[in-house]
Chain A
Amino acid sequence: MLIFLARPTIVVAMLVADCPLIVRSPRPVLAINSVTKSFAGVQALKGVSFELLEGEIHALIGENGAGKSTLTKIITGAVIADSGSIEILGQAISHNSPTVSRSLGVVAIYQQPSLFPHLTVAENIAIALEHDGAWLVDWQSRYAQSTRLIESLGAAIDPRRLASTLSMAEQQIVEIAKAIGANAKILLMDEPTALLTDREVENLFRVVRRLRDDGVGIIYISHRLEEILGISDRITVLRDGETIGCHKANEVDRAELIQFMVGRSIASVFPKREVPIGDVALEVRHLRNDEAGLHDISFSVRRGEIFGLAGLVGSGRTELARTLFGLTPSGSDILLSGEAVRINSAADAIRLGIGYLPEDRRQHGVILEMEVATNISMANLEAVSRGGLLDHQKERDLASFYVNDLRIKTPSIFASAGTLSGGNQQKVALARWLAIHPRIMILDEPTQGVDVGSKAEIHELIVDLAERGMAILLISSELPEVLGMSDRIGVMHAGTIAGILTREEATQTKIMSLAFGHFESEVSSV
Chain B
Amino acid sequence: MKEHSREASVAVAIVLLMLVLATLAHGYFSRENLADLFLANMPVMIIALGMTLIILTGQIDISVGSVFAICSVVTGLCARGGLPAVFGLLVACVAGAACGAVNGGFVAYLRVPSIVVTLATMVALRDTLRWKTQGSWVGNLPSNFQWFGVTQQVYTAGTLVMVVLLILLFVLGLRFLRVGRTVFATGSNETAAQIAGINTKRLVFTVFTLTGALTGLAAMLNSVRFNQIPSNSGLGLEMKVIAAVAVGGTAITGGTGTILGTVLGVGLLGSIGTALTFLNVSAYWEKAIQGGIILSAIILNALSTHHKKHANSINALPG
A contact set with B: CB distance below 8 Å: 98-99, 102, 108, 110, 114-119, 123, 126-128, 130-131, 134-137, 139, 164-165, 178, 291-293, 318-319, 322, 327-328, 345-346
Contacts and interface: CB of A to CB of B under 8 A. Distances in A.
Interface in B277-319: 310, 312-316, 318-319
B181 interface: yes
Contacts of B189: 114-117
Report, as a range, how many residues of chain B touch the other chain. 20 to 34
A6 B198 CA distance: 37
B12 interface: no
A119 B310 contact: no
Interface in B177-196: 177-182, 184-185, 187-189, 191-196
Contacts of B176: 136-137, 139
Contact of A328 (B195, B199, B316): B316
Contacts of A99: 197, 199
Chain B: interface secondary structure?
A: helix
Contact of A98 (B184, B188, B197, B313): B197
B195 A114 contact: yes
Interface in B183-234: 184-185, 187-189, 191-199
Given A127-B196, A291-B310, A119 B177 contact: no
B312 A117 contact: no
A379 to B, nearest CB: 13
Contacts of B197: 98-99, 102, 128, 131
Given A119-B181, A119-B184, 17 more contacts: A98-B195, A114-B196, A115-B189, A115-B192, A116-B255, A117-B188, A117-B189, A119-B188, A135-B179, A137-B176, A137-B177, A137-B181, A139-B175, A139-B176, A165-B312, A292-B313, A319-B313
A318 B255 CA distance: 28
Contact of A123 (B181, B187, B312): B181
B263 to A, nearest CB: 20
B256 interface: yes
A123 B313 CA distance: 24
Q: A99, A118, A137: which has the most chain B beta carbons within 10 Å?
A: A118
B178 A118 contact: no
Given A118-B188, A123-B181, A291 B313 contact: yes
A119 B191 contact: no
A130 B178 contact: yes
A116 B185 contact: yes
Contacts of B314: 318-319
Interface of B: 175-182, 184-185, 187-189, 191-199, 255-256, 310, 312-316, 318-319
Nearest to B194: A98
Contact of B182 (A98, A127, A131, A327): A127
Contacts of A293: 313
Contacts of A114: 189, 191-192, 195-196
B99 to A, nearest CB: 27
B184 A118 contact: yes
Contact of A134 (B178, B187, B193, B195): B178
A266 B189 CA distance: 41
A327 B185 contact: no
6 contacts: A134-B178, A135-B179, A136-B177, A136-B178, A165-B312, A327-B319
Contacts of B185: 116, 119, 127
A164 B256 contact: no
Nearest to B315: A164
B319 A345 contact: yes
A99 B194 CA distance: 10
B193 A118 contact: no
B197 to A, nearest CB: 5
B178 A135 contact: yes
Determine which residue in B175, B255, B318 has the highest number of CB atoms from chain A within 10 A of its CB, and name it.
Answer: B318
A115 B189 CA distance: 7
Contacts of B177: 135-137
Given A98-B194, A116-B255, A346 B319 contact: yes
A133 to B, nearest CB: 9
Contacts of A327: 318-319
Contact of B198 (A127, A135, A346): A127
Nearest to B253: A118
A522 B196 CA distance: 29
A373 B206 CA distance: 43
Contacts of A116: 184-185, 188-189, 192-193, 255
Given A139-B176, A327-B318, A126 B181 contact: yes
A190 to B, nearest CB: 12
Nearest to A364: B318
B195 A108 contact: yes
Contacts of B193: 116
Contacts of B315: 164
Contacts of B179: 135
B172 to A, nearest CB: 9
A117 B181 contact: no
A128 B318 contact: no
B296 to A, nearest CB: 24
Given A114-B195, A292-B313, A127 B188 contact: no
Contacts of A98: 194-195, 197
Closest 10 CB pairs of A and B: A114-B192, A116-B188, A118-B255, A118-B188, A327-B318, A102-B197, A118-B256, A116-B189, A116-B185, A114-B195
A98 B177 CA distance: 23
Nearest to A102: B197
A188 to B, nearest CB: 11
B192 to A, nearest CB: 3
Contacts of A137: 175-178, 180-181
A111 to B, nearest CB: 13
A164 to B, nearest CB: 7
Contacts of A131: 197
